[in-house]
Copies of this chain bind each other. A is one copy, B any other.
Amino acid sequence: MNTQKINWYPIVILGLLALLVATFAALVYRSAGDQSQNAASAFTRQDAQYEWKLVTTWPKNFPGLGSAPERFARLVDEMSAGRLQVKVLGAGELVPAMGVFGAVSDGAAQMGHGAAYYWKGKLPAAQFFTAVPFGLNAQEMNGWLHYGGGLELWREIYAPFNLIPFAGGSTGVQMAGWFNKEINSVDDLRGLKMRIPGLGGEVLNRAGGTAVTIPGGELYTALQTGVIDATEWVGPYNDLAFGFHQVAKYYYYPGWHEPGSVLEFIVNKDAYESLPEDLQAIVSAAARDASQDMLDEYTARNNKALRELVDNHEVQLRRLPDDVIAYLAKINREMMEETAAKDPVFARVYEAFKAFGAEAAAYHEISERAYYDTRELNQLKQD
């Protein structure tokens, strides 16, 4: 009965206004939702970004030894989806080669790559974690470090320097080195001027030679000019790249002084502990991968390089005589005992190393060595 006419105009206006307000409110609300979502994910998912410097004792892109830090950085980048960026700096870029230990200890860099025996001046016992003459080969070193208590000892002696060490590569049994004098007897060691670092150098000095320390980049010239009579380096794959065959005649084996040299990654303890647990685990696994990878590369590539040296460059491959080996082994035992008598930390690591070494060497007599002996009679023997 009341047919009142409705004016729709203001109703539509107000309705549209309400929709506009509501839409605006919804957008604000959604945006706030976005922010809380982001904040929660940053906290719970530990996706903070870390930028680390890794200083090395090698020049940038150094063949062989220098590939481990590059591989490490790449693996960490991939596994962390870029959350931990590791910048590799060669010797001299941030600190000189021999400044790596100090720089990582101080925190000037978060990581370093090199070899523990470079720090023998600070810490004589560090040498056990690279190479001991007549000591452990690569497989045995890995067994000692990861299941024989070796890594725990290494971490204990580096702890006062605020450093955590990891195995960072292995060369396998090295060559005895490049010589311009033949070694036919113990007498030929007398007066021999040879670049040979670490405990092996100590042995040479006691055998009447002169161990000298010359950086890798100067060795070629030192051999060429006769400043030294001999140098050890690594093995065929690495040595070919350095061109030592152009300035030395004889290539001797076996590498009694470095039977399975281990390289090292060192990590500043505060930097390591500042990482979330997943990135700590990633650093650890990347180091283990890069460490094993180096040995695999040398194992696969050494012989081709050796053939090239012998077949195309007239290198004379020679075995050190048994009496020379026996003499060096005897001097080495005396030197190790005397060093242990002077340094209680060295003595403690030496005892652990000897105990493990006796077990590992005994088992490898009937396994690895006995197996190598069977090659005299099978199809893999190359002759």
Contacts and interface: CB of A to CB of B under 8 A. Distances in A.
Interface residues of A, number: 115
Nearest to A75: B285
Contacts of A333: 378-379
Contacts of A61: none
A363 interface: yes
A307 B79 CA distance: 42
Interface stretch (A154-162, A192-200, A241-249, A298-306): A298-306
Interface in A258-315: 259, 276-278, 281-282, 285-286, 288-289, 292-293, 295-304, 306-307
A1 interface: no
Nearest to A47: B45
B253 A370 contact: yes
Contact of A29 (B26, B46, B75, B332): B26
A185 to B, nearest CB: 16
A74 to B, nearest CB: 9
Contacts of A33: 30, 33-34, 37
A254 interface: yes
Contacts of A30: 26, 29-30, 33
B254 A370 contact: yes
Contacts of A364: 372
Interface stretch (A52-60, A113-121, A354-362): A354-362
Contacts of A293: 146, 288
A366 B26 contact: no
A152 interface: no
A21 B144 CA distance: 69
Contacts of A360: 299-300, 303
B47 A374 contact: no
Interface string A231-254: 000011000000000000000011
A106 interface: no
A interface secondary structure, majority: helix
Given A11-B15, A360-B300, A255 B371 contact: yes
Query: Which of A79, A140, A307 has the most chain B CB atoms closer than 10 A to its own CB?
Result: A79
Nearest to A74: B281
A102 B263 CA distance: 41
Interface string A3-37: 01011001100111011011101110110011001
B300 A356 contact: yes
A80 interface: yes
A317 B33 CA distance: 72
Interface of A: 4, 6-7, 10-11, 14-16, 18-19, 21-23, 25-27, 29-30, 33-34, 37-38, 41, 45-47, 75, 78-81, 134-135, 137-140, 142-148, 172-175, 235-236, 253-256, 259, 276-278, 281-282, 285-286, 288-289, 292-293, 295-304, 306-307, 317, 319, 322, 325-326, 329-330, 332-333, 336, 354, 356-375, 377-382
10 contacts: A75-B281, A81-B276, A137-B372, A138-B139, A143-B297, A236-B363, A288-B289, A307-B359, A358-B382, A372-B372
